[in-house]
Amino acid sequence: MELRARAPWTNASIGPALQAALILVASLALVGVVGLFFAATKDTFTWDGYGQQVVSGLAQGAIFASLALALVLIYRATDVLNFAQGEMATFTTYVAWSLMNHGLSFWPAFALTLVIAFAGGAAIERTLIRPVEHRPEIVIVIVTIGLLIALNGLTGWIWGTEVKAFDSPFPLRTVEIAGVVVSLQDLGVLVVCLVTVSVLWAFFNLTTLGLVMRAVANSQEASRLLGVRVGWMLALGWGLAAALGAVAGMMAAPALTLDPNMMLVVLIYAFAAAVLGGIDSPVGAVVGGLVLGVVINVLGAYVDFVGGELRLPAALAVLLVVLLIRPQGLFGHRVVRRV
């Protein structure tokens, strides 16, 4: 029997959205101050440059946030981390590349890819996850690892392992906002990811189907007793997660260039973001992703020891420290087990 204790600052008087915004601002401010501490010691420091790092950090963070949210969706539905999430995203990004190669322009290809990703994700749940859904978590995790290996190989088999260019839908210009030079590419990525996340939020909170999916994530048995076809809801969850991953992949591809291992590092950042935010909290995943994006950009730019190469280990080290202090993550529920 599990009881979920609320996060200590939960207060019925302020809404969760406001809470999330507050924490996002607070964490970003903290990151900013810490970053500034390092940044100010460098002669190359300028406020414009710093602002630019933060904005491109947010853009990168939005990609992490999308993939992290996909992980959280599946975690809440199936109780496991989907290790194949990144490879699913890579695969669908290659599909988008093929569609564009066949003459489609970016946005039609984008939309079609989302549909294909949704169908693929739902199909994976129906065929591969469903047979093992009642077995120990480790079995499901291993199935997703198998999927990771197979999809990675399949991507290379179909499209080759050499790096491919992936066109960006956004112009290569920059604009100046409040004195900070911002690339339209970063801005576009940020907007697309945030719109996607908002649409998803609206789906879950404003529609009956979204309510049913949240109920299934809460308790499958209780949902069944109310006549909910739980199996289809789980498939729907996997489909949505796959589509979300596809958005992340297509937004990441122009900067990373397309190759079969493109999303592996992104997946790890997304894991880190999801765990940082609290693995069962969608809000946490988004906040965690954005914060992580800014952290690694600022650390990479202003801390010599970290530099370009050690961003990932540094981010993970920060994460581990956070987890040791607060094992359930920033927004997660502490699971109290009663024997």
Partner 1 sequence: MPLLELKDVHARYGPIRALHGVSLTVDEGEVVALLGANGAGKTTTLRSISGMTRTSGELVFNGRRLPRRSPEAVARLGIAHVPEGRGLFPELTVWENLRMGAVGRGVSLAEEAERVVGYFPWIGRRRTQDAATLSGGEQQMLALARALVSKPRLLMLDEPSLGLAPTIVRELFAIVRRLNDEERLTVLVVEQNATIALDVASRAYVLEVGKVAVAGTSDELLRHEGVRKSYLGY
Partner 2 sequence: MRFPPIAITALKVAAVIGLAVFIAFLPRIFDARLDPASAEFRVGQFTLVGIWFVALLGLNLLTGYSGQISLGHGAFVGLGAYVATLLSLGRPGLELYMLDPPSWMPIGDGMRPVFTIPIAALVTGAIGFVFGIPALRLGGISLALATLAVAVSFPILMKRFDEVTGGGGGLNLNLPTTPFGWDISTRHWLFYEAWGTAAVVFVAAWLLVRGRVGRAWRALRDGEIAAVSSGVDAALYKTLAFGVSSAFAGAAGALLAIEVAYVNPDTFPVSLSILLLAAAVIGGLGSLFGAIFGALLYVFLPIYAQNPPILSSDFSTQAPAVVFGAVLIAIMLLLPGGIAGLVRRLGFVGRSAWLRRPRQSQPGA
Among partner 2, partner 1, none, partner that 123 touches (CB below 5 to 8 angstroms by kind): none
Kindly state whether residue 12 participates in binding partner 1, applying the rule CB under 8 A.
yes
Which of 55, 151, 182, 236: binder of partner 2 (CB under 8 A)?
Answer: 151
Kindly state whether residue 126 participates in binding partner 1, applying the rule CB under 8 A.
no
Kindly state whether residue 207 participates in binding partner 1, applying the rule CB under 8 A.
no
* φ, ψ at 10 (rounded to 5°): -60, 130
R_g over Cα of the chain:
20
Q: How many CB atoms lie within 10 A of CB 214?
A: 16
Q: At what angle do helices 282-302 and 47-78 cross, to 10 degrees?
A: 150
Least distance CB 205 / partner 1 (angstroms): 10
Place of tokens 């952290």: 295
CA distances from 157 to 143, 153, 251, 267 (A): 21, 6, 23, 21
Kindly state whether residue 219 participates in binding partner 2, applying the rule CB under 8 A.
yes
Q: Indicate the residue type of 186.
A: D
Distance of CA 159 to the CA centre of its chain: 25
Which of 138, 226, 324, 339: binder of partner 1 (CB under 8 A)?
Answer: 226
Q: What is the DSSP string of 120-174?
A: HHHHHIIIIIGGGTTS-HHHHHHHHHHHHHHHHHHHHHHH-SS-B----SS-S-E
Among partner 2, partner 1, none, partner that 151 touches (CB below 5 to 8 angstroms by kind): partner 2
Kindly state whether residue 44 participates in binding partner 1, applying the rule CB under 8 A.
no
Contact range with partner 1 by CB under 8 A, out of 110-118, 171-179, 227-235, 283-291: 227-235
Q: Which distant-in-sequence residues (6+ apart) come within 8 Å of 244 by Cβ?
A: 66, 67, 69, 70, 73, 196, 200
Least distance CB 76 / partner 1 (angstroms): 10
Least distance CB 77 / partner 1 (angstroms): 14
| Residues at the contact surface with partner 1, assessed by CB under 8 A | 1, 4, 6, 12, 208, 211-212, 214-215, 218-219, 221-230
| Residues at the contact surface with partner 2, assessed by CB under 8 A | 1-4, 75, 81, 128, 131-132, 134-139, 141-143, 145-157, 161, 218-219, 221-222, 260, 264-265, 268, 271-272, 275, 279, 309-310, 312-313, 316, 319-320, 323-324, 327, 337, 339
